[in-house]
Chains A and B, each alone.
Chain A
């Protein structure tokens, strides 16, 4: 049997390991905090309050972000909004192009998602394929009234007709660049970095 990769790890995560200080910081901890506060308010404004909201984070980092948004909503509205996790591994369209990936937990809040306003939360919006997979995965879990999308960073280069409703920061990037989101819950500190790639003399990719 093949050795599966770390659950939920994607190519970006692998490249991240051992690459602490490459590139430059585009959002620091306070920027991230302010962006999440704004997103929380936007979600409430758009929904005209916290009723029927369900926040579903896409593992790994989307789950932490969803919890933080829920905390902010609780602070302003005094209402605990249900938070869950929606793993999309089994629904990815590139399963066959990669070594086997282990799944991460999917947790649907006890009230379910039928008839609710679901806000999907992820760290980076790029090709849009993860969001497509998330929409498919949600289809097997229930039928929300409305689905919205909140992301910390939108770096462009969409490959599918998908856009975010709430964006922390629009970050114009080249395809060759790499955007790395680090969160306290997962990585021990909060920041968003962008790094350009170089091809090293041995033909392998290197990051500056």
Chain B
């Protein structure tokens, strides 16, 4: 019995991404209806198992499941048996034994979703594993950009921020390059992941330490969150210094011009990596990303769960 998973952007090719986006566009229309409900996943059960904090990912997966008529249940690490010392394996097998069709999982350890997919007989959707991947975020980011800019083929997308700790960066680079975009990633040397040179050569994206040099050539900018909770400190001297070098400030917004879309996966540290002027600018897609998040996650659940029972 083979189950279908979404553990990494590597699990989908460009054709499948296009199919997910086409479905997401229809789901987007459902969001505007009075009756936001489709019967496609009636009788399916989706469990959100979150061992790390989340607002938008968890709630958008929950809403996505509910609008497709699946039964959705949320389990968080805090307040579950995991805090009594139950192992990850016991927790997921317990949950799976209740008869679930999909497990949407976030965990602090890279590779946790892959590991869990080998333990349980349900589709596993990786909603963030450590600093590894967050494929649904990458899909919704690309979908949002594509809705605004048209096909991403040949367009220059710049990712800026804490790359070392960012699973969003890893998934996004894979997704954007699959769609033919030119990608440049920018970070201070201390937040540039080790080994990125080899990866960037193989995957065909560029790296830079100089935001002001890259910014004028950008067709779209993705700001990444500075993940204070993953830092023991010492990555940069002060928040102020980070902002001066790598924040999307008022001045940099002027360099960008009014037509270059700005994305941020949230939650934003206003004043640190992104100025309020940029976050609230007309070209900011931050809230579009959130509403696209529901549509894209509906499409992911639909493509994984609606088809024939295997």
- Identify the A interface with B (CB < 8 A): 1-4, 7, 87, 89-91, 95-106, 136, 140-141
User: Which B residues touch A99, using CB under 8 A?
Assistant: 307-308
Report if A1-B307 is in contact (Cβ < 8 Å); known contacts: A95-B40, A106-B26.
no
The 5 closest A-B pairs by CB, nearest first: A100-B307, A90-B40, A90-B38, A4-B19, A140-B35
User: Which A residues touch B4, using CB under 8 A?
Assistant: 1-2
Asked if B309 is an interface residue, CB under 8 A from chain A, the answer is yes
From the candidates A1, A7, A103, A136, name the one contacting B12 in the complex (CB within 8 A): A1
- CB-CB nearest in chain A for B27: A103
Measured CB to CB, the closest approach of chain A to B76, in angstroms, equals: 26
Chosen A-B contacts, 28 in total, with CB atoms closer than 8 Å, are A1-B4, A1-B12, A1-B16, A1-B300, A1-B303, A1-B304, A2-B16, A4-B23, A7-B19, A87-B26, A89-B40, A90-B39, A90-B40, A90-B68, A91-B38, A95-B40, A96-B306, A96-B307, A96-B308, A97-B308, A98-B308, A100-B303, A100-B307, A102-B19, A102-B22, A103-B26, A136-B39, A141-B33
Q: What's the Cα separation between A2 and B300 when bound, in Å?
A: 11
| Most chain A CB neighbours (cut-off 10 Å) among B15, B19, B309 | B19
Measured CB to CB, the closest approach of chain B to A5, in angstroms, equals: 9
User: Which A residues touch B308, using CB under 8 A?
Assistant: 96-99
Known A1-B16, A90-B39, A91-B39; further 20 A-B contacts with Cβ < 8 A: A1-B11, A1-B303, A1-B304, A2-B303, A2-B304, A2-B307, A3-B19, A4-B303, A7-B22, A87-B26, A90-B40, A90-B302, A91-B38, A96-B309, A100-B302, A100-B307, A101-B306, A105-B29, A106-B29, A140-B35
- CB-CB nearest in chain B for A112: B34
User: Which A residues touch B178, using CB under 8 A?
Assistant: none
Asked if B6 is an interface residue, CB under 8 A from chain A, the answer is yes
Q: What's the Cα separation between A100 and B308 when bound, in Å?
A: 7
Report if A3-B39 is in contact (Cβ < 8 Å); known contacts: A106-B29, A141-B33.
no
How many B residues have CB within 8 A of the partner chain? 28
Q: What's the Cα separation between A115 and B303 when bound, in Å?
A: 35
Cβ-defined contact, A95 with B16, below 8 A:
no
A-B contacts, CB under 8 A, total: 70
Measured CB to CB, the closest approach of chain B to A2, in angstroms, equals: 6
- Identify the B interface with A (CB < 8 A): 4, 6, 11-12, 15-16, 19-20, 22-23, 25-26, 29, 33, 35, 37-40, 68, 300, 302-304, 306-309
| Most chain B CB neighbours (cut-off 10 Å) among A7, A89, A96 | A96
Measured CB to CB, the closest approach of chain B to A62, in angstroms, equals: 17
Q: What's the Cα separation between A106 and B15 when bound, in Å?
A: 22
User: Which B residues touch A97, using CB under 8 A?
Assistant: 308
Q: What's the Cα separation between A136 and B20 when bound, in Å?
A: 24
Measured CB to CB, the closest approach of chain A to B70, in angstroms, equals: 12
Q: What's the Cα separation between A2 and B40 when bound, in Å?
A: 17
Measured CB to CB, the closest approach of chain A to B179, in angstroms, equals: 16
Cβ-defined contact, B303 with A95, below 8 A:
no
Q: What's the Cα separation between A44 and B6 when bound, in Å?
A: 51
Q: What's the Cα separation between A2 and B35 when bound, in Å?
A: 29
User: Which B residues touch A100, using CB under 8 A?
Assistant: 302-303, 306-307
User: Which B residues touch A1, using CB under 8 A?
Assistant: 4, 6, 11-12, 16, 20, 300, 303-304
- CB-CB nearest in chain A for B17: A1
User: Which A residues touch B12, using CB under 8 A?
Assistant: 1
User: Which B residues touch A89, using CB under 8 A?
Assistant: 40
User: Which A residues touch B307, using CB under 8 A?
Assistant: 2, 95-96, 98-101
User: Which B residues touch A105, using CB under 8 A?
Assistant: 25-26, 29
Measured CB to CB, the closest approach of chain A to B12, in angstroms, equals: 5
Measured CB to CB, the closest approach of chain B to A160, in angstroms, equals: 17
| Most chain B CB neighbours (cut-off 10 Å) among A87, A91, A95, A98 | A95
Measured CB to CB, the closest approach of chain A to B111, in angstroms, equals: 19
Measured CB to CB, the closest approach of chain B to A164, in angstroms, equals: 24
Measured CB to CB, the closest approach of chain A to B284, in angstroms, equals: 28
Cβ-defined contact, A3 with B15, below 8 A:
yes
User: Which B residues touch A140, using CB under 8 A?
Assistant: 33, 35, 37-38
- CB-CB nearest in chain A for B39: A91
User: Which A residues touch B22, using CB under 8 A?
Assistant: 7, 102-103
User: Which A residues touch B37, using CB under 8 A?
Assistant: 140
